[in-house]
Amino acid sequence: MSETIAIDEGGRAANELALTQFAKLDPATTAWLLDVDGTLIDIGPSPFEVDVPDILKDTLLRLYEMSGGALALVSGRPVRDLDKLFAPLTLPSVGGHGAELRLSDAVITRIDDLPGDMRRHLISAVTPGSGVEYEDKGYSVALHYRKAPHHEERLRAHVAATRAAFPDIETELLPGKAMVEVKRPGINKGDGVRSVMAQPPFAGRMPVFIGDDITDEAAFSAMPEFGGKAFAVGFAFDGASGVFSSPDQVRLALRRLARL
């Protein structure tokens, strides 16, 4: 479970504690597992309107080199989108909340797609001018209403009707920040992290995961299995080693470790 941290004096104190704890980490012996939206980069008006600062790319490259390649992005985005955002970097990645995996061999493994008819039915909720946007990832469809929060109830009803219309297709509902996603069942960031930690150069290292949303809780819960640490952004999650107040503070903490 999680609770929101207001950015008042208590929130600032939590952020300073997170920065202090983070500064004690050794980049050379850590396995870095980093959520993207709301963690490394600020949440934009839509998933397609975000900014990845050049200094962040420089920081990630430096930490990737310092850790011997043990740095991976762990995101709800498909791997192909991560590559576009962080170009020219092509980092090890867990995409689609664990539906995709790419390690050092540059081969992307992914689960099967949802049927095309079901995906099209879900996407039909996105009407011109509504402010609602969608991501068709194949194995899932995400409906985003950041620009149109008044559509939330309608979208949730549409998703429920779609799932009922395809009773033979097993799916799970993944809630997030101003979005709802229908995906294949049994896929989560925790299992994605476990797959990463079973492979070199991640295996045997202490993992550090940073995340900001309910979709990250499965990855948080995996950290004790590897003696790892979890840091949250904006929310206090059970078991978190520290709480950053914003992605800007995460970028600052990483930059300090990278000595940039």
Q: Determine the Cα–Cα distance for residues 164 and 156; give it in Å rounded to an integer.
A: 12
Residue 105 falls in the annotated catalytic set: no
- Residue 71's nearest CA partner among 49, 45, 89 is 89
Query: By the 8 A CB rule, do 114 and 139 touch?
Result: yes
Measured CA to CA in angstroms, residue 54 lies from 154, 255, 259 at distances of: 38, 12, 15
Query: By the 8 A CB rule, do 59 and 247 touch?
Result: no
Which residue do the tokens 């955002």 mark? 85
- Report the Cα 77 to chain-centroid distance in Å: 7
| Three-class DSSP labels, 48-70 | CCCCCCHHHHHHHHHHHHHCCCC
Query: Which of 26, 35, 58, 112 is an active site residue?
Result: 35
Residues forming the active site: 35
